[in-house]
Amino acid sequence: MSVSIKDVAARANVSPATVSRALAGGQVSAALRAKVEEAVKATGYRPNLSARRLRSQESQTIGLIVADISNPFFTAVARAVEDEAYKAGLRVILCNTDENPDKEALYLQLMEEERVTGVIFAPTRATVGKLAKRQFNFPMVLIDRAEPGCGQDAVVLDNAGAAALLVEHLRDRGYRRIEGLFGNASTTGVERRLGYEEAMRRFGLTPSARFIPPSIKAAEEEVAGWFKRGPAPEAVIASNGLLLMGVVRALRGAGKSMPDDLAVAGFDNESWTDLIGPGLTVIEQPVATMGRTAMQLLLERLEDPDAPLRKMVLGGRCLARGSTTGRERP
């Protein structure tokens, strides 16, 4: 019966990923490396050719796998991660999945083949729940998207709290029929929808939310349909920058204005959001901090592979602009 890396891990009382890094000459303590080497001898494990190649070189490269690089949020995340990686003397391989689980699987395989030092990953809902069952030969930090029990370090926004801030902002300005549009591919969209629904009920309002593909086109078609069918809601919350763009396009296409025909609020304080009409009310996410924190978590995981998992939850702030100017109430 052949001995596997899992047998070595069990003997050394560490994770298989830690064994892989130790055999690869990666960043582990001398004591931990000695412990793994002793377990290798005790079990008779024979590393394959790939493992011997790993021991002779370190890639000094991290993988950054994002969901949609056309989304300005992920563009900003990539910039922040690259800046921090450069300071640490690491290169970055950037992969864009287009919210496609098949592409995610392909790129995760690529990261293993490239023997990267670590990975920062924004997974889809379909993939995030499977990560705890996988064993990778590199440490991983999830950014923007995570769920309980995913088995990885993570840095995320308080999505439910941020969505509730927008509901409260609109309610305080006299809006009652508030529609929610949420991306259907990520845990982020799920969490924001839950926060929206809870806040609506707390204020005695009726939630009306839809999951749609996280694209400009999907939001544009949805909002255009409101004006064709009627009646449109008084206000809308869009759960990411792409959906927000789609809402604005639909308003222009229908010859409608903000906030008279529809009050608009959403996520991501991109440069264009204060240039459109009266300016868009948005949740400003600490994107640069998220990128820096993800790199910090990854570097700390490399230093201490067996440390307890950590999830960093950051807050956003509501930037009120003209798209949600208050309305008179009888």
**330 within some domain:** no
Most confident of 42-51, 127-136, 152-161, 321-330: 152-161
**329 within some domain:** no
Distance of CA 227 to the CA centre of its chain: 32
**242 within some domain:** yes
Digit-coded pLDDT (tens) for 267-305: 999 999 999 999 999 999 999 999 999 999 999 998 888
Instruction: Tell me the mean pLDDT in the region 85-92.
Output: 90
CA distances from 140 to 146, 170, 189, 264, 276 (A): 12, 38, 22, 36, 38
Instruction: Tell me the mean pLDDT in the region 122-140.
Output: 91
pLDDT at 189: 95
Domain final residue, candidates 55, 70, 93: 55
Q: Is the pLDDT of residue 198 over 60?
A: yes
Distance between CA atoms of residues 235 and 303, nearest Å:
48
pLDDT at 237: 98
272 and 123 share a domain?
no
CA distances from 256 to 31, 125, 173, 228, 275 (A): 67, 34, 20, 12, 17
**180 within some domain:** yes
240 and 183 share a domain?
yes
pLDDT at 2: 66
pLDDT at 321: 97
214 and 128 share a domain?
no
148 and 76 share a domain?
yes
Q: Is the pLDDT of residue 52 over 50?
A: no
**pTM (global) more than 0.85:** no
Digit-coded pLDDT (tens) for 12-46: 998 877 887 777 666 678 888 889 889 888 888 86
pLDDT at 50: 38
Angle between the N-to-C axes of helices 241-253 and 216-229, in degrees from 0 to 180, rounded to the nearest 10: 40
Distance of CA 212 to the CA centre of its chain: 17
13 and 72 share a domain?
no
209 and 67 share a domain?
no
State the pairing for strand pair 317-319/153-157. Answer: unpaired
pLDDT at 248: 97
pLDDT at 328: 54
| CATH number reported for the structural domain that contains residue 36 in this entry | 1.10.260.40
pLDDT at 58: 53
- Looking at the 3D structure of the chain, how many domains does it have? 3
170 and 131 share a domain?
no
308 and 166 share a domain?
no
Q: Is the pLDDT of residue 138 over 70?
A: yes
- What is the average pLDDT value for the chain, to the nearest integer? 90
Token pair of 31 as six digits? 């004591």
Instruction: Tell me the mean pLDDT in the region 70-83.
Output: 93
pLDDT at 47: 58
CA distances from 199 to 102, 159, 194, 317, 327 (A): 35, 12, 9, 16, 20
b/e for 42-57, b at 16 or more Cβ within 10 A? ebebebeeebeebeee
178 and 279 share a domain?
yes
pLDDT at 89: 87
Digit-coded pLDDT (tens) for 139-191: 999 999 998 888 999 999 999 999 999 999 999 999 999 999 999 999 999 99
Q: Is the pLDDT of residue 53 over 50?
A: no
Domain final residue, candidates 55, 74, 94: 55
What sign results for the dihedral spanned by CA atoms 74, 80, 81, 83?
A: positive
| CATH number reported for the structural domain that contains residue 96 in this entry | 3.40.50.2300
165 and 270 share a domain?
yes
What sign results for the dihedral spanned by CA atoms 40, 41, 46, 48?
A: positive
Q: Is the pLDDT of residue 54 over 50?
A: no
pLDDT at 22: 77
**19 within some domain:** yes
Q: Which domain holds residue 150?
A: 61-156+287-314
State the pairing for strand pair 281-284/317-319. Answer: antiparallel
pLDDT at 27: 66
What band does 55 get if pLDDT is binned at 50, 70 and 90? very low
pLDDT at 106: 95
Paired strand residues for 281:
265
Q: Which of 183, 106, 187 is nearest to 154 (CA)?
A: 187
